[in-house]
Amino acid sequence: MYRPRSILQQHTARLLRIIREDGPVTRVDLAQRTGFDSATVTKITKALMRKRLITETALGVSTGGRRPKLLEINPDVRTVLGVNVDQDYITVQAMNLAAQPQNTRRIANSDFRHPDKVLRTTQKLIAQLAAEYEHVIGVGVAFPGIINSETGACAYNAYFGWTDVPVKTVLSTGMTVPVKVENDARAVALGEQWFGAARNVQNVVCIRADIGVGAGVILGGEVFTGAHDMAGEVGHAVVAPGGPLCVCGNRGCLEAVASVSAIERQVRGRLKDDFPSVLANGDPAKVRFRDICRAAEEGDRLAVRALEEAAEYLAIAIGNAIDHFDPEMVLLSGGAFAGSDYLYQQILRHEPKGSFWQSAGDVKIERSRLGEDCEVIGAAALILKDFFAAGGNP
Ligand SMILES: [Zn+2]
């Protein structure tokens, strides 16, 4: 919900942003960069120091006279909880204001088809971890499927078989701090903007390939949700007409040919058909994506072929995304890119670019640096964004 900010809050937010992004800085730097007079800067920084959100550290360089004190964020004085729910696990991570992990709880999500059980377990993990920290500022939740960013409800999730589940309402029950729920790919995009490869980038398409494929789109510095919370559903763009059946009911969706599960399914099928491969030694059903990457790195033809095909489809989707959004960067994240470089390198070989010469060449195709924590970090960023925008108030 949009809350109007007071002038003081807005000024505080501006100073905090500079200290957070470019600190340590001096009070003089702050005054110069904002145009605020020195009394205002002194008053606001004093209030922030009282809350222990910023600290004075070493001395800066003198321009004649006393050496000025440097200010920086004091990240450990508050805790934010980042939650990620996927088909395999429910993860709750406690982090400081710089999204550095403090503590993690993870539990298998074997009952993912049952909203009551999933939400009850998630609530329990949140409560356990929250009890360990004195100053929790909020709980951010990255959730798969069509998520209404405002209400935090899951409108639809094909894998879970969920329709209209009020995730945020349930998780907020009994909580005294804000809870925010966002689609996982959009949360990851926000996390990348705050802490990852997309810092200071205004227009980014962050494609996340995992069990499913989705994208978080940042346009003009803001996460774009679309009119119906559907922006970024690149996973269901058809890239292989007449191809494998997708969970959405269509055939040949990107998700059905290039997600981690689609690649695993494909390799397992070919192993059952007795294709020669180093992966044929064990039970085909147990072959996981990381085994396929390792086999491909060793030159195994079956694994190489599966990943090359997926890379080709992903390259098509990236080219389309470049045409649709004209970004400076396309950022690849999720399980398909977390453990191994192989799929990423194959995509680069296709030199994905938009159809028009203007956009060719200068779009960066990067891999996430946030690794396996990208979802919980993105979830934390949902809370941190509001916290810092409100001048350090939850
Ligand atoms: Zn689909």
As a three-state string, the secondary structure of 184-222 is: HHHHHHHHHHHHCCCCCCCCEEEEEECCCEEEEEEECCE
Of 230-239, 240-249, 357-366, the one with minimum mean pLDDT is 357-366
Query: 251 alpha carbon to ligand 1 midpoint, in Å?
Result: 7
Whether 95 shows a pLDDT value over 60: the answer reads yes
Going by pLDDT thresholds of 50, 70 and 90, the confidence category of residue 339 is confident
Q: How far is the CA of 211 from the centre of ligand 1 (A)?
A: 12
8 A C-beta contact, residue 52 and residue 77: yes
Q: Is the pLDDT of residue 356 over 70?
A: no
257 C-alpha vs ligand 1 centroid, how far in Å? Answer: 10
Q: How far, in Å, from the CA of 314 to the mean position of ligand 1?
A: 14
CA neighbor of 265 nearest in space, from 251, 291, 284, 247: 284
Q: Where are the domains of the chain?
A: 7-73, 78-192+374-389, 197-369
Spacing, Cα 243 to ligand 1 middle (Å): 11
DSSP 301: H
CA 384 to ligand 1 centroid distance, Å: 33
Distance CA 106, CA 89 (A): 7
Q: Compute, in angstroms, the gap from residue 366 CA to the centroid of ligand 1.
A: 25
CA of 258: how far to CAs of 32, 138, 238, 289, in Å? Answer: 50, 35, 11, 11
Has residue 104 got a pLDDT over 80? yes
Instruction: Label residue 351 by pLDDT band (50, 70, 90).
Output: confident
Using a CB cutoff of 5 Å, list residues around ligand 1, an ion.
236, 246, 248, 250, 253
Instruction: Say if 7-73 and 78-192+374-389 have the same CATH topology.
Output: no
**CATH architecture assignment, domain 197-369:** 2-Layer Sandwich (3.30)
Å from CA of 236 to ligand 1 middle = 4
pLDDT tens profile 248-278: 899 999 999 999 999 999 999 999 998 889 9
Report how far ligand 1's centroid is from the alpha carbon of 355 (Å): 24
CB 366 within 8 A of CB 193: no
The rounded radius of gyration (Å) of the Cα atoms in the chain is 23
**Residue 1: what pLDDT?**
45
Ligand 1 centroid to 244 CA: how many Å? 10
247 CA to centre of ligand 1 in angstroms: 6
**Listed range (194-203, 265-274, 347-356) with the worst mean pLDDT:** 347-356
CATH 1.10.10.10 for domain 7-73, yes or no, is yes
pLDDT at site 63: 67
CA 48 to ligand 1 centroid distance, Å: 48
Region 79-105 average pLDDT? 96
Q: Residue 52: how many CB atoms within 10 A of its CB? A: 13
Q: What is the pLDDT of residues 226-235, one digit of tens each?
A: 888 778 888 9
Q: What is the pLDDT of residue 64?
A: 66
The Å distance, Cα 235 to ligand 1 centre, comes to: 6
6, 15, 239, 367, 387 from 9: Cα distances, Å = 5, 10, 47, 35, 11
Model pLDDT for residues 123-141, shown as the tens digit of each residue: 999 999 999 999 999 999 9
Domain 78-192+374-389 has CATH 3.30.420.40: yes
Name the pTM for this structure. Answer: 0.90
Residue 177 confidence (pLDDT): 96
Distance 238 CA to ligand 1 centre (A): 7
How far does residue 153's CA lie from ligand 1's centre (Å)? 21
At 240, the pLDDT band (50, 70, 90 cuts) reads very high
- Residue 154 CA to ligand 1 centre (angstroms): 18
Query: CA torsion, points 132, 136, 138, 142, in degrees to nearest 10?
Result: -40
In angstroms, what is the span from residue 248 Cα to ligand 1's centroid?
4
